[in-house]
Amino acid sequence: MAGLMGSGGLGERRTIAARAKGGLLVLGGFVALLFAIELFNALMLRSLNRTFGLRPRSADGLLDILTFPLLHANLNHLLSNSLPLIIFGFLVFLSGLRVFMTALAFSWLGSGLTVWLIGDGGITVGASGLVFGLFAFLLVRGFFNHSWRQILLAVVLFMGYGSILLGVLPFVAGYVSWQAHLGGAAGGVVAALLLRPRGGVTGARS
């Protein structure tokens, strides 16, 4: 019995280690792609922003939802998004690829649709909506999952990064897109809600 428990614990540690390695590879690769796009965009005199940036309430703008988080206004804009994107994305990825992809997809779509619907009319670019979505997912999922460890992590993250949530307010965000932040955060909350464990499954496991 002790041997079974020991092998189970070892298997769990191996799973976490594999997810950590996969998370670093996926997030590192994604951020590297963003930097490659930023370099090409700079060489093209930011023409990609005009072509693939998100234009609210236009028919073509619906397709821009798929591309606008990949573009940035400048290098500093990208740098400001890169570290929190890696940190939050990595922490989400520790729960598995399916969880990460679901949180990312809802953050992406929530951010894009909100900008398309209520954007101020300018062209919006940047991955900050993804940052807000992944962050919001990490903040609320523990309450949906009834997991004290995830709630504790949420408290630590809120203490360290909670001030960024002010970016969803129109009078605080300034020249950045509060609509992208708000929509991304909403998408992250929806993803956490959809991924919560079913009551029957939880009872069966216990």
Maximal C-alpha separation, the chain: 65
pLDDT, residue 8, reads: 61
Query: Of residues 74 and 10, which shows the higher confidence score?
Result: 74
pLDDT at 4 over 80: no
pLDDT, residue 6, reads: 53
pLDDT, residue 60, reads: 84
The answer to pTM > 0.75 is yes
Catalytic residue among 128, 146, 163, 206: 128
* Average pLDDT value over all residues in the chain: 91
pLDDT, residue 7, reads: 57
pLDDT, residue 198, reads: 77
Cα 130 to the center of its chain, rounded Å? 4
206 included as an active-site residue: no
- Of the chain, the percentage scoring pLDDT greater than 90 comes to 81
Q: Per-residue pLDDT tens for 30-71?
A: 999 999 999 999 999 999 999 999 999 999 889 999 999 999
Residue 190 carries which side chain, given as an amino acid letter? V
128 included as an active-site residue: yes
pLDDT at 206 over 70: no
pLDDT, residue 1, reads: 44
Best CA proximity match to 133, nearest among 66, 82, 184, 196: 184
Residue 15 carries which side chain, given as an amino acid letter? T
What CATH number did the domain enclosing 128 receive? 1.20.1540.10
Contact yes or no for 107/161 (Cβ under 8 A):
no
Tally of domains in the chain: 1
Mean pLDDT of 182-197: 97
Catalytic residue among 72, 95, 111, 181: 181
Note down the domain range covering 126: 2-205
Contact yes or no for 76/84 (Cβ under 8 A):
no
* Half-sphere exposure at residue 195, Cβ-oriented, CA atoms within 13 angstroms: 25
111-117-122 Cα angle (round to 5): 85
pLDDT, residue 49, reads: 97
As given in the structure block, the two tokens for residue 90 are 């990595």
Mean pLDDT of 97-105: 97
48-33-139 Cα angle (round to 5): 105
Q: Per-residue pLDDT tens for 138-185?
A: 999 999 999 999 999 999 999 999 999 999 988 776 678 999 999 999
